[in-house]
Amino acid sequence: MSITGGGVDPFTGGSSGGQTSSGFPAHTLAHIPCHTLLTFDNVPNLEALGRKIREFNAALSSPQQLSETDLAAGGPLDALLQKLSKVAAAATGAAAAAGAPIVSAADVALLRRMLVWPPDKVFPALDIARLAVLDGAAGGGGDLLAAPAVAGDLAAAAPTPGTLAGALAAAAASALPANHQLALRLAANASAAASAPLRRWLLAGASPLLDRLAPLLAAPTATKAVRLSGAVLLGNLAAAVGLRQLPAEVPQSGDVPLQALSCGLELLGACASPLEESDGVYRCLVAMGTLLVAGGADLCQIAKDLDINDRIHAIMTGARGGGAAEQKLLQVGIDVTSVIARNTGVKV
């Protein structure tokens, strides 16, 4: 089946179109490297979200409860929820940082009170935070959440409760797939945030964050949505690696490419039926390929030693003869394996 034109071998990218000076098949990369940042900006059912928060609040002890004033119709909680649609609508590229702030300091203070709720009740707050970080205007939600006392320390063994780092840690330690999905999506959005301080915070803590979140991708309870969320986070981190945006002053930044590559391999291994979650698998392969392009021979040799080619070939075999989604998997598989071949000197 011809994917890129000519007599293409879907396992090597080889064709009758000539060879490189190294003797390997000429192949133009179609999908990697990818430096586009992706976010999860879907707005939940705000009425249902408000009901769930009020339900959870009623089950809490008084020190953790929101006040009647907070919960009153048209009060602070409702005002915060109504802002989420505006944040999502504004979160588009340069426009995200150019407008007026939407999320206020009072909104963030209210959100932080929900971020300390027990793990089985924290997912509504994670969903709010997922969108609040996309408020990229100067002084808006992203900047407010990036303040050290609010963002917290991603490298801490036990980040402070009520901070973003604390909420991510609590969600990762819980057994709820909903928490895992929203924690990964919150991290993905922060890694693509228009707020420069917030994105710097996330990228500076990328290594310990991956240590904490990586097990979620291969957990027995992981859902397709969890894996897709993880794949987008890996893609955003790979873009930062490719653009050399990880902070050089952070020693652990050098560990991120291999960590992210290993996470991608674990994610692929956890997909029992890759073609049934082709979007997540595709984004994972794009992330891995972007990392390999940036990492050169050293990272490609590690990838080869980890038998990544075998995993990709299995996916490509299943995708042959399929539709548009399967063709994308074939194409990106050719891209990734050709990068490994060129950098290791071994045909695959």
* Cβ atoms 247, 218 nearer than 8 A: no
Strand partners of residue 19: 25
Helix residue ranges per DSSP H, 75-205: 76-90, 95-98, 105-115, 123-132, 141-146, 148-151, 164-173, 177-191, 196-204
Exposure class string for 218-235: b at 16+ Cβ within 10 A, else e: beeebeebbbbbbbbbbb
CA distance 242 to 294: 5
CA distance 56 to 141: 24
Does the pTM surpass 0.85? The reply is: yes
Q: How far is CA 184 from CA 147, 180, 313, 315, in A?
A: 20, 6, 27, 24
pLDDT per residue, tens digit, the chain (348 aa), is: 222 222 222 233 333 334 444 445 568 999 999 999 999 999 999 999 999 999 999 999 989 999 999 999 999 999 999 999 999 999 875 556 668 999 999 999 999 999 999 999 999 999 999 999 999 999 999 999 999 999 999 999 999 999 999 999 999 999 999 999 999 999 999 999 999 999 999 999 999 999 999 999 999 999 999 999 999 999 999 999 999 999 999 999 999 999 999 999 999 999 989 999 999 999 999 999 999 999 999 999 999 999 999 999 999 998 888 889 999 999 999 999 999 999 998 765
At residue 25, what are phi and psi to the nearest 5 degrees? -60, 140
Please choose, from the candidates 284, 271, 273, 263, the residue with its C-alpha nearest in 3D space to the C-alpha of residue 328.
284
**Chain CA centroid to CA 208, Å:** 15
Ordered DSSP codes for 183-197: HHHHHHHHHT-S-HH
At residue 255, what are phi and psi to the nearest 5 degrees? -85, -15
DSSP annotation of 26 reads: P
CA distance 127 to 181: 10
Helices (H) and strands (E) in the chain, counts: 17, 0
Tokens of 150: 């609010």
